[in-house]
Amino acid sequence: MSHEVGNHAPIRFSRGRTKVDNHPEIREVPDFRRFEEMVLSDRGKKKGEAWFAAPFNSDGRRCRENVQARRFLPVDLDKIDPERLPDVRMWFAKFRGFGYSTASSTPEAPRERAVLELTREATREENLRLGAALIRDLNEEFGESVVADDSVFRNEQPVFTPLRSAAAFRFDGEPLDVDVWLATAPEAAEVPQQAVAVEGRIADGTRNKTLTSFAGSMRKRGMTLGAIEAALLAENAQRCDPPLPEAEVRGIAASIGRKPAPAPIPARVAPESSGFLGAVHTARDVMNAPAREALYCIPGRIPAGLVLLAGPPKAKKSWAALQIGIARATGSAAFDAQCESCRVLYLALEDNDPRMRRRLAFFGLTPESAPQRLHFAYEWRQGDLGVGDLQKWMEQYPDTGVLIVDVLQRFRGPKDRSQGAYEADYAMMGMLHRVAAAKPGLTVLVVHHTKKGGAADPIEAASGTFGIVGAADAVIILGQRLDRDRRAVHIEGRDWESFDEDFVWEFRQGDGWHWLGTLDGDDLTERQKAIIAMAKEDGHVTPSMVAERFSITRQSAAEALQRLVSKDALYCISGQYLPTS
């Protein structure tokens, strides 16, 4: 019996379509993370549309007698004290796995499911005992604050996939060590004692090595010398053939027990905004960390990360997206800045081959010069399934630096009626944000529309709720037309400091968009007008007031105020900025 497995050991499982599907499809994926992706992307509108379980024998019929071993353990938490939810997730962080909120979960009564990776495939009886051990430890830690359902410990039990609205989270610890946990697990009532005793015999010649490895795993888990010795004695009596002398087993336990216990696993919490586990840092750690340079899709022009490019109809948004894709795929210039070369995937969901050929020819490409690393798709699955396909693309083509979604509405598909507008917008963009965040420097460029009639604040011009712009790392708004070929462009982002400046793009026939710099002259941007309005309403403004109002740094606010002074829109007295009229 294999004691441990690598990170890329395959996962075999069955996938059913409905609650009454008794002949599920048998599937296999290369590793646990691919299994996680398949489960989390296999979402339904309502409970019971899809489920997974252990694989079944050749006829595929779902029943206890037909079920095979599995290399994952689901844990259903039917009751969680809301105040203890972060602690519960932190407790699971020592394991490798993932989880999601279940169909009946509410903020007042959260219910969640964790799916843990195992070090080897475990039989039905072993899973029952592993589950019992987990419940025992959960009860010791949380008492009545957590109640678990033991039905999913049975290998044949269907485990429903998440709803589209479910929050998901990940555990980045170690796979649950089957043999270590079985050594201290309670006996399952329905498992004959003989079956447990003969499971996985340890043959002569491997007994010392196996027990030593076994003891080392228990020590890593933090078990005491007494607990390790008791487990080794039981393991020796039940599995070693023939058993080692008792004194020799005690000696193995003593040699491992003398090693220092491992340092506690760093506390990890799940931020409410994403649901994913992240390391906790002190303020001093943050201040002493090396400065992180801002990453760009196009240096000094287009930030990296999840970028929303929005504009009115016929504003040549798609031309800008294609221009970016060509420049990155060929390593040429765009917006008058030189780009690094990478692979690009363009989801042109409103286009076709003839239209794309005309646009590529517009940018001077020929059948011979068209880049091999620029890919197009005119059809793509929608919503979370489409996001899962993007993740698979990134696995197959890790040299991809830009993913373009044109347009958002075609990609997102119909909204879930159970979600509010903001929740649905943020959930969709949040999934795309996780794709972008998985690879530093990756740009996911999402083309979107602006509202008819625009808005006073450029950020408010994007169609939909603030959930769309709020999830993005950067937002580019193609604003007012300055003349036939030039537009004012507003760019705002987490690492983009010129929040109050607008820029000018010019579209040139046969050449595309050009970057002409900041909006010059006496023209005021919408943000600058908002600052002046603040000064008139309050009598004055300060850098601190502007920083708080627009959620920017005090340094950026001070620079914005100085620009207004240079335009004679404000004047400064003793650190206060007053309107000139």
pLDDT in tens, the chain (581 residues): 333 444 568 899 999 887 667 778 888 888 898 899 889 888 877 887 889 999 988 766 777 888 999 999 999 998 898 888 888 988 998 899 999 999 888 888 899 999 999 999 999 999 999 999 999 999 888 888 899 988 899 999 999 999 888 888 888 889 999 988 988 887 754 333 333 333 356 777 778 888 887 777 676 656 667 777 777 887 788 778 788 888 888 888 888 766 655 544 443 333 443 444 445 677 887 787 776 677 899 998 999 999 999 999 989 999 999 999 999 999 999 998 999 999 999 999 999 999 999 999 999 999 999 999 999 999 999 988 899 899 999 989 999 999 999 999 999 977 777 778 888 888 899 999 999 998 989 999 999 999 876 666 778 889 988 889 988 999 999 988 888 888 989 898 877 766 567 889 999 887 899 998 887 655 676 778 888 989 998 899 998 898 888 777 777 788 788 888 887 889 888 889 998 87
Whole-number Å distance between alpha carbons of 397 and 74: 31
In a domain, 60, yes or no: yes
Q: What is the side-by-side order of every strand in the sheet holding 112-122?
A: 146-149, 70-80, 112-122, 96-101, 168-172
In a domain, 284, yes or no: no
CATH number at residue 533: 1.10.10
Short-list 151, 437, 149, 121, CA closest to 271: 437
Contact call for residues 89 and 278 (beta carbons, < 8 A): no
- The predicted pLDDT at position 85 comes to 87
Contact call for residues 245 and 254 (beta carbons, < 8 A): no
Which helix (H) or strand (E) segment holds residue 178: the answer is: helix 178-184
Whole-number Å distance between alpha carbons of 462 and 477: 8
Q: Look-up: residue for tokens 């957590």?
A: 146
Show which of 499, 519, 539 is a domain's final residue. 519
Q: Which two three-digit tokens encode residue 158?
A: 């269907």
488 and 393 within one domain: yes
Domain residues for the domain of 133 are 12-178
In a domain, 36, yes or no: yes
335 and 380 within one domain: yes
570 and 491 within one domain: no
497 and 352 within one domain: yes
End-to-end CA distance of the chain: 84
Short-list 474, 479, 505, CA closest to 490: 479
For the chain, what's the residue count?
581
Pairing of strands 343-348, 374-377: parallel
567 and 540 within one domain: yes
Whole-number Å distance between alpha carbons of 230 and 338: 66
484 and 362 within one domain: yes
> Is this structure's pTM higher than 0.85?
no
Give how far Cα 21 sits from Cα of 17, 48, 152, 193, 197, Å: 6, 10, 17, 33, 35
58 and 24 within one domain: yes
How is residue 487 annotated by DSSP? E
159 and 257 within one domain: no
Short-list 332, 43, 278, 64, CA closest to 162: 43
Longest Cα–Cα distance of the chain, Å, equals 97
Contact call for residues 458 and 447 (beta carbons, < 8 A): no
CA dihedral in degrees (557, 562, 563, 568; nearest 10)?
130
In a domain, 192, yes or no: no
560 and 494 within one domain: no
Integer-rounded Cα radius of gyration of the chain: 29
Give how far Cα 553 sits from Cα of 113, 499, 528, 533, Å: 40, 10, 16, 20
CATH number at residue 71: 3.30.70
In a domain, 350, yes or no: yes
In a domain, 87, yes or no: yes
- The predicted pLDDT at position 240 comes to 82
- The predicted pLDDT at position 65 comes to 83
Q: How many domains does the chain have?
A: 4
227 and 117 within one domain: no
In a domain, 240, yes or no: yes
- The predicted pLDDT at position 498 comes to 61
303 and 249 within one domain: no
In a domain, 166, yes or no: yes
206 and 151 within one domain: no
CATH number at residue 509: 3.40.50.300
